[in-house]
């Protein structure tokens, strides 16, 4: 919801960034509400389900672990 708030109020388009603005609001909400919002999550399978855009590197990165040149994104950028 912090990403949505930043988008609506600041026209902040990068939903993947957990930069200073995101962290500011995360800390502000945690202090006010006594919550424990973090930039980490444990629902990796659910997030991976939305990564519909895939690319495979044809260069040197295709030989390097752990991803072997595979890039997955939720948005085609």
Estimate the crossing angle of helix 2-10 against helix 20-33, to 10 degrees.
120
Mean pLDDT of all residues in 7-36: 85
3-state DSSP assignment of residue 3: helix
Confidence check: pLDDT of 31 > 80: yes
Contact 69, 62 (CB under 8 A): yes
Confidence check: pLDDT of 43 > 70: yes
Average pLDDT of the residues of the chain: 84
pTM reported for the whole predicted model: 0.54
pLDDT tens profile 49-71 = 878 888 898 899 899 998 899 88
């Amino acid at each position: 919801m912090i990403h949505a708030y930043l988008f609506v109020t600041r026209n902040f388009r990068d939903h993947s960034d957990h930069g200073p603005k995101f962290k500011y609001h995360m800390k502000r909400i945690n202090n006010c509400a006594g919550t424990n919002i973090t930039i980490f999550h444990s629902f990796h399978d659910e997030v991976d389900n939305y990564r519909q855009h895939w690319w495979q590197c044809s260069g040197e990165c295709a030989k390097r672990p752990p991803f072997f040149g595979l890039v997955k994104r939720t948005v085609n950028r």
